[in-house]
Amino acid sequence: MAQDTPKDLVVERPQGLYCPPGDFYIDPWQPVERAVITHAHADHARRGHGHYLASAEGEGVLRARMGADIDLQALPWGQVVEHHGVRISLHPAGHVLGSAQIRLEHQGQVWVVSGDYWASGHVDEANPTCTPFEPVRCHCFITESTFGLPIYRWQPQAALFAGINAWWAENAAAGRASVLMGYAFGKAQRLLAGVDASIGPIVVHGAVKPLNAAYRAAGVALPPTHHVTALPKEALRRALVVAPPSVAGSSWLRRFGEASDAFASGWMALRGARRRRGVDRGFVLSDHADWPGLQRCIAATGAQRVIVTHGYEAVMVRWLLEQGYEAGAFRTEYGDEAIETEAAGQQEGLSAEE
Ligand SMILES: [Zn+2]
Ligand SMILES: [Zn+2]
């Protein structure tokens, strides 16, 4: 657990991460009066807060998930608002559309809360479906660590998508649909933006559709996609079908007949994960930073002190201490990719027959 000194700009409270001088919470898991939200994933953005502050880029998705009537102040990147003497600004995290790092400045101290972010060891790569991660100089950096183990190293995106495209093309040539499962918010759009749409038509599940609309409205280029009933049966046999994991084993899938299925997730890097999912293929694609990406982003902040959240805190904290950082961990109720996927699956299950 991180040490709590009077100067700390963020501390742990039962409701969530709390800024004492500013009297507000960041991604709280219990209802509070004032919440600053890093991004619209279910474990970070919850219903029931009195007031929301979030990025302008993420306004569409946040309202789509929290309700159009939430009391929301949407802030453009880098613009400062002051609350009880704390200067708050939001900076891109590159995780999903609208994902922000929260910069807090108070009496000469600068803290940054990363939320979830994406970066990898391939320095020139970025998530193409949102504004890329931008390092922000600070004294203390609160970092996620979902994939904070040395075994997690993402391959270059071009190589990953070459694999997905080859799988799709092979299936299309054999006359069977390619069902590619991934989380509806973030992962699905990442898949759509990366595949070669000339291979065949693309079908998206009803749960993916409203998120695609929010991405397109925000100016993110996605290839044309179709509702399953809009295509003749012949076309379905060459189609790529992008759907949430909740469709696995459902009657919705039966209309595609004999299909090949695949699952896209950072966890596919683990031996056995694909087998447990019972799918033909596993593609290692994550919205979270890999081990080299985490290290690179932490170093780029220039922070002396680092506080770790999400998974694998112990390994990351030990590594940081070895590098000479002042390091600790916050216990949070944020999920990992699998938990986000399952939480979303329950919502998505409602529309699984669409
Ligand atoms: Zn997230
Ligand atoms: Zn998270």
pLDDT tens profile 68-78: 999 999 999 99
Radius of gyration, alpha carbons of the chain: 20
Task: Note residues around ion ligand 2 (Cβ under 5 angstroms).
Answer: 116, 334
Whose tokens are 């999920």? That residue is: 335
CA of 281 to the centre of ligand 1 (A): 24
Distance CA 219, CA 213 (A): 10
CA of 109 to the centre of ligand 2 (A): 25
> What pLDDT score was predicted for residue 350?
33
CA of 323 to the centre of ligand 1 (A): 27
Whose tokens are 């996609």? That residue is: 225
Is it the case that residue 345 has pLDDT exceeding 60? no
Is it the case that residue 344 has pLDDT exceeding 80? no
> How high is the mean pLDDT of the chain?
92
CA of 310 to the centre of ligand 2 (A): 7
* Residues linked to residue 313 through DSSP beta bridges, in sequence order: none
When mean pLDDT is compared across 125-129, 198-202, 204-208, 310-314, the lowest value belongs to 310-314
pLDDT tens profile 292-342: 999 999 999 999 999 999 867 889 999 999 999 999 999 888 876 554 444
Q: Both tokens of residue 185?
A: 């918010």
Confidence of residue 1 (pLDDT cuts 50, 70, 90): low
CA of 287 to the centre of ligand 1 (A): 7
CA of 351 to the centre of ligand 1 (A): 22
Structural domains in the chain, CATH included, are 11-152+287-336 (3.60.15.10), 157-283 (3.40.50.10710)
> What pLDDT score was predicted for residue 13?
96
CA of 39 to the centre of ligand 1 (A): 7
> What pLDDT score was predicted for residue 275?
78
Least distant ligand from the CA of 309: 2
> What pLDDT score was predicted for residue 333?
86
Angle between helices 209-217 and 59-66 (to 10 degrees): 150
Angle between helices 187-194 and 209-217 (to 10 degrees): 70
